[in-house]
Amino acid sequence: MTRVRPRCGVVSPLAAVVFVACIGVAAPAAAQAPCPCPPPPDAPPPVWTGSIGAGLALTQGNTATTNTNVSFDVKRDAQTKTVFKAQGLYIRATQDGNDNVDRALVSGRVEYKLTPRAYTFGQLQDVRASRRSTTSSRRRSASGTSSSRAGG
């Protein structure tokens, strides 16, 4: 019986053809770019928006004056039929140590959309204005009406 000894380092022609065919088929598949994913959806607009502010003005000269103010503005719009808005402002001014102006304004408003072009609203407003050297006054008001928006 004859025994065949394997040859080391020699590759049969059939094995070489199979190897090259596998590499040739796999190389283009590996080189393909992945499918582009759709961009993520935009974030929904915030339900609550608003701002705050503060100011200070100091002047010196023939008279010394100090003016301060604080304000806020807030809005809740959940993209439904109802929108809430509120604003506030406080102003105080002194001249040579005497209070000149002391005013506050606060308002709130609720809007309800009837149709895409018409809405109704209710509003409350409180105004306080006083001059320390003379008299104080206070005024409150409430209103409600229906309106239509221009455009379309």
Q: Residues 100-118: pLDDT tens digits? A: 899 999 999 999 999 989 9
Query: What values do phi and psi take at 14, rounded to 5?
Result: -65, -40
Domain that holds residue 123: 48-148
| Side-chain half-sphere exposure of 152, counting CA atoms within 13 A | 4
Q: Which residues pair with 107 in a beta bridge?
A: 87, 125
Tokens standing for residue 55: 């100011």
**Is 40 part of a structural domain of the chain?**
no
pLDDT at 25: 59
Q: Is the pLDDT of residue 135 over 50?
A: no
Q: Which residues contact 48 (CB under 8 A, 6 or more apart)?
A: 74, 75, 76
- Structural domain total, the chain: 1
In a domain, 4, yes or no: no
133 assigned to some structural domain: yes
pTM, to two decimals: 0.58
Indicate whether 26 belongs to any domain: no
The residue assigned the tokens 């065919």 is 21
In this prediction, residue 43 carries a pLDDT of 87
Is 107 contained in some domain? Answer: yes
Per-residue pLDDT, averaged over 91-100, amounts to 90
